[in-house]
């Protein structure tokens, strides 16, 4: 556990490294933002939601 204390007074968990799937989705979304490709931004946002539900829940 971390020495940090949350606002609720309980120690916070150390942050886990981002998984490869998260990295890829975030990279694609960031590139789409830079390119002004709103359709891909929306798709990657939705993909991240599904990914988190399937891989991390």
Per-residue pLDDT of the chain in tens (57 residues, 90 and over written 9): 455 655 666 667 777 788 999 999 999 999 999 999 999 999 999 999 999 999 998
**Residue 1 pLDDT:** 47
**2 within 8 A of 14, measured Cβ to Cβ:** yes
Sequence-separated contacts (24+) of 51-54 with Cβ below 8 Å: 51/21, 51/22, 51/25, 52/22
**Residue 28 pLDDT:** 98
Q: Which residue has the tokens 């979304």?
A: 29
**Residue 4 pLDDT:** 60
Q: Does this model's pTM top 0.75?
A: no
């Amino acid at each position: 556990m971390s020495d940090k204390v949350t606002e609720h007074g309980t120690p916070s968990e150390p942050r886990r490294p981002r998984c490869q799937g998260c990295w890829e989705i975030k990279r694609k979304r960031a590139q789409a933002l830079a390119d002004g490709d709103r359709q891909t931004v929306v798709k990657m946002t939705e993909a991240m939601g599904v990914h988190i539900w399937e891989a991390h829940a």
